[in-house]
Amino acid sequence: MLSCFYIRLRFSPLLLLSLIYSRVQNSLHYFTLTMDGIFACIISSLLVLFSLIYLLLPKRNRRPQNQTSAKLPPGSMGWPYIGQTFQFYSQDPNIFFSSKQKRFGEIFKTNILGCRCVMLTSPEAARFVLVTQAHLFKPTYPKSKELLIGPYALFFHQGDYHMSLRKLVQRSLSFDVLRNLVPDIEALALYSFKSWGHGHVINTYREMKRVFSFEVGILSNFGHIEARLKDELKKNYWIVNTGYNSFPSSIPGTQYKKALLARKRIGKILSEIICERKEKKLVGRDLLSCLMNWKGEKGEILSDDQIADNIIGVLFAAQDTTATVMTWIVKYLHNEPKFLESVKAEQKAIEKSNEGNLPLSWTQTRNMPITYKVVLESLRMASIISFPFREAVADVEYKGFLIPKGWKAMPLFRNIHYNPEYFPEPKKFNPSRFEVAPKPNTFMPFGSGVHSCPGN
């Protein structure tokens, strides 16, 4: 009975937190509307109530059992349960983390999004968590997101299953395969440019995402597929995409529930595509073919669910990230006309050498030194994955500090990318800094270790 009560007490603040979190994420406008009046009242009363409950709970229920002599790192955990989530969302993330680093040093604790976290801001610590002691830190994602992507997607796993799938994704993105996609990708880019050229205002991020990165994702996952199936996939994918950051509720009509239903329909469309390929014995070099043709050492094959989850997983991993970085590139170049001119000159020279009508070649894509440095500097400045989520599977000691079992351990790529010791004048957009290779483990836009990005 008591433990039941305890579980309920612990569960409710998490619900509250998720609710607040989804409000903040979904719409600032909605948030301001609801924050005045009743909602604000309820929140403040609940905060007081939960603080009292927290203070009254026996201490051993709140602290992890420490089997080593190491201490928790310095830092502030903020309000009970709510932690520092409000500060995290109301500030520029650069400022939130860098002010903590200044105050507490390169390892500090905090509590955000309902998670107790140890944040690590040095390249050595990132290597420790992601590479040398990676077995002590498992990747974690909220259950609601795992359900939408599908539990078999590679990034939720470790060990043999993860490695086998990772190899398949890497194979579908090998140079040999990508080389053949260049003309199609170029055609998609030209098509996008044309649709922008009528003097109307466009939303850069949306265009990058819907028109460009989604289409490229479909191409590399399926090759060329029937227009009807592509449209169906697209329609349902956007419903899932919209529901991904909404409050997870299975009440009919909510965005999350709609997303779950759309995810089911995607599964059916993928089964149809798989069936057709099997019937027609179609073999390609795209991700779907790699997954369908995989055979384990004992002859095992992947189920349709495993295939679907990984297709959706890779689409998700590829799409937002790519569209975001392309949007930042546009912004940085807009702010820095000098670099914009250099990039334009480099691209025009290539166009000229192709006499204005030959398609871009693979060799040409590998030889764009100015554009390449602009991309690298944009990846550093934007640091679109600020930190990867990992959870300690045991009590871990690092540099005399304890990372307790069950706590998140997050290497802060963003802080490393903005450390003047590794990148002088870090706030300045300066692609020439990449004329010299960055020091090891200081530039990690694609992560590091066994879960690093295969789309790198």
Mark the binding-site residues, compressed into ranges.
453
Q: Is 154 in the site for ligand HEM (CB under 6 A)?
A: yes
> 213: which residues sit within 8 A by CB, 6+ positions away?
318, 319, 320, 322, 323, 326
> What's the closest the beta carbon of residue 445 comes to ligand HEM, in angstroms?
5
- The CA distance from 319 to 241, in Å, is 10
Q: Which alpha helices (H) appear in 129-226, and where do they start and end?
A: 143-149, 159-172, 175-196, 204-206, 214-222
Q: Which stretch binds ligand HEM (CB under 6 A): 19-27, 196-204, 257-265, 310-318?
A: 310-318
Closest CB to ligand HEM among 204 and 452?
452
Interaction between residue 277 and ligand HEM (CB under 6 A): no
Pick 168 or 292: Cβ nearer ligand HEM = 168
Separation between Cα atoms, residue 121 and residue 127, nearest integer Å: 11
Give the binding range for ligand HEM (CB under 6 A) out of 54-62, 105-113, 225-233, 318-326: 318-326
List CB contacts of 271: < 8 A, sequence separation 6 or more.
Answer: 304, 308
Q: Tell me how many residues contact ligand HEM (CB under 6 A).
A: 23
Residue 353: CB minimum distance to ligand HEM, A = 27
Please report whether residue 150 would count as binding ligand HEM according to CB under 6 A: no
Specify the stretch interacting with ligand HEM by CB under 6 A; choose among 34-42, 78-86, 87-95, 441-449.
Answer: 441-449
Distance (Å, whole) CA 127 – CA 266 = 37
Smallest gap, in angstroms, from Cβ of residue 455 to ligand HEM?
Answer: 2
Residue 333 touches ligand HEM, criterion: CB under 6 A: no
Total count of residues recorded for the chain:
456
Other C-beta atoms lying within 10 Å of the C-beta of residue 305: 14
Number of residue whose CB is nearest ligand HEM: 455
Helices (H) and strands (E) in the chain, counts: 19, 7
Nearer to ligand HEM, 208 or 314 (CB): 314
Residue 46 or 385 having the CB closest to ligand HEM: 385
Q: How far apart are the C-alpha atoms of 136 and 395, rounded to whole Å?
A: 9
The CB-of-411 to ligand HEM minimum distance in angstroms stands at 9
Q: Which stretch binds ligand HEM (CB under 6 A): 5-13, 278-286, 314-322, 415-423?
A: 314-322
Among 16, 318, 410, 412, binds ligand HEM (CB under 6 A): 318
CA atoms within 13 A on the CB side of 377: 27
Residues numbered 367 to 396 that lie near ligand HEM (CB under 6 A) are 384-385, 388
Cβ proximity of 80 and 50 under 8 Å = yes
**Four-CA torsion 99, 18, 63, 66, nearest 10 degrees:** -80
Give the interface segment with ligand HEM, choosing from 328-336, 401-409, 426-434, 439-447 (CB under 6 A).
Answer: 439-447
Binding to ligand HEM (CB under 6 A) within 165-204 occurs at 166, 169, 173
Measured distance CA(74)–CA(373) in Å, rounded: 37
Whole-angstrom distance, CA of residue 357 vs CA of residue 183: 12
Work out how close the CB of 402 gets to ligand HEM at its nearest, in angstroms, rounded to a whole number: 23
Q: Pick out residues in 122-141 that bind ligand HEM (CB under 6 A).
A: 139
Q: In what order do the strands lie in the sheet with 408-411?
A: 107-112, 115-120, 408-411, 390-392, 137-139
Q: Is 223 in the site for ligand HEM (CB under 6 A)?
A: no
- How far, in Å, CA of 233 to CA of 271, rounded? 12
Q: Which positions lie near ligand HEM, rule CB under 6 A?
A: 139, 154-155, 166, 169, 173, 314, 317-318, 321-322, 325, 384-385, 388, 445-447, 451-455
